[in-house]
């Protein structure tokens, strides 16, 4: 196997005395969509936070293009080509849609190209163009999710990490968001997706990791994983090797 774009090896992470990740290893190859699924408290958000530089692991290694990430700040990871869309649609509610988008391009020095990218995305997502001068806080939940994804893409990441992009959205809007995720990969951006909605994640991802209790319980091609008789037990952390 060629060297993966992202590699997480034997990572432990804690919040005080609480173990959030335990000896966790996973990888993402260029132009894959990889999903991380599991119940609440499985360690999914902590994993993304550790990759992004928001949480410092107590053990293990995380590399991107062969370079270590542990100890790097969030700004450093963005400059290296990683963007995180956190759970909860964090728009700057009092700023306009266009001002939110321009914030996504602040790390770029190619201001003309950045502005051209903004216009391209406004063409791609007409509702954002329609609302471009209005407060972002007045957008619907689905429109805000669209905005934060585009804002992250404006840093021109090679790896886009999405934390629970369907949370709180109606099924029709969720389907639209997942269409966007497919388009992102088709445009050459690698995607690491955290989801509690296992069916949605399996439908879009090339490979999936099942987390429970901060550990990888199962992994494999998404098309096969959901059919595995051990899938449900892995998802809920049941069976061999799981502490009471």
- Cα-Cα-Cα-Cα torsion 200, 203, 208, 209, nearest 10 degrees, comes to 20
Residue by residue, DSSP assigns 66-84 as TEE-TT--HHHHHHHTEEE
Look at residue 115 and tell me if it is in a domain. no
Look at residue 227 and tell me if it is in a domain. yes
The whole-number pLDDT of residue 114 equals 95
Look at residue 138 and tell me if it is in a domain. no
Look at residue 56 and tell me if it is in a domain. yes
Dig out the tokens for 167 from the structure: 């949370």
Q: Convert the pLDDT of each residue in 55-110 to its tens digit.
A: 999 999 999 999 999 999 989 999 999 999 998 778 999 999 999 999 999 999 99
The whole-number pLDDT of residue 243 equals 28
Question: At 212, which CATH number?
Answer: 3.40.50.300
Range of the domain at 192: 6-88+158-235
List, in order, residues 6 or more apart from 57 with CB less than 8 Å away: 11, 12, 13, 21, 50, 70
* Domains: count for the chain: 1
Look at residue 17 and tell me if it is in a domain. yes
The whole-number pLDDT of residue 132 equals 95
Look at residue 228 and tell me if it is in a domain. yes
> Cα 241 from chain centroid?
28
Categorize the per-residue pLDDT at 166 as very low, low, confident or very high, splitting at 50, 70 and 90: confident
Query: Span 120-141, mean pLDDT?
Result: 94
Q: Convert the pLDDT of each residue in 125-135 to its tens digit.
A: 999 999 999 99
Q: Convert the pLDDT of each residue in 7-47 to its tens digit.
A: 999 999 999 889 999 999 999 999 999 999 999 889 999 99
Among 2, 1, 14, 12, which Cα is nearest to 62's? Answer: 12
Categorize the per-residue pLDDT at 238 as very low, low, confident or very high, splitting at 50, 70 and 90: low
Categorize the per-residue pLDDT at 226 as very low, low, confident or very high, splitting at 50, 70 and 90: confident
Look at residue 61 and tell me if it is in a domain. yes
For 108, other C-beta atoms within 10 Å of its C-beta total 15
Q: What is the pTM of this model?
A: 0.91
Look at residue 132 and tell me if it is in a domain. no
């Amino acid at each position: 196997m060629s060297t993966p774009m992202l590699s997480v090896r034997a990572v432990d992470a804690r919040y005080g005395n609480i173990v959030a990740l335990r000896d966790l290893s996973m990888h993402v190859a260029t132009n894959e969509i990889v999903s991380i699924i599991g119940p609440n408290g499985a360690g999914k958000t902590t994993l993304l936070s550790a990759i992004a530089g928001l949480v410092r692991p107590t053990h293990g290694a995380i590399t991107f293009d062969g370079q270590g990430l542990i100890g790097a700040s969030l700004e450093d990871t963005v400059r290296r080509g990683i963007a995180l869309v956190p759970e909860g649609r964090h728009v700057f509610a009092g700023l306009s849609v266009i001002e939110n988008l321009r914030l996504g391009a602040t790390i770029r020095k190619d201001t003309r190209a950045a502005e051209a990218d903004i216009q391209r995305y406004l063409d791609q997502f007409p509702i954002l163009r329609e609302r471009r001068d209005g407060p972002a806080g007045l957008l619907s939940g689905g429109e805000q999710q669209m905005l934060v994804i585009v804002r992250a893409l404006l840093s021109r990441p090679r790896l886009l990490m999405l934390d629970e992009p369907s949370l709180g959205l109606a099924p029709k809007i969720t389907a639209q968001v997942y269409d966007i995720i497919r388009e992102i990969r088709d445009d050459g951006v690698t995607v690491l997706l955290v989801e509690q909605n296992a069916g949605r994640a399996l439908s879009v991802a090339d490979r999936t990791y099942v987390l429970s209790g901060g550990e990888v319980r199962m992994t494999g091609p998404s098309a096969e994983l959901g059919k595995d008789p051990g899938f449900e037990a892995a998802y809920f952390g049941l069976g061999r090797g799981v502490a009471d």
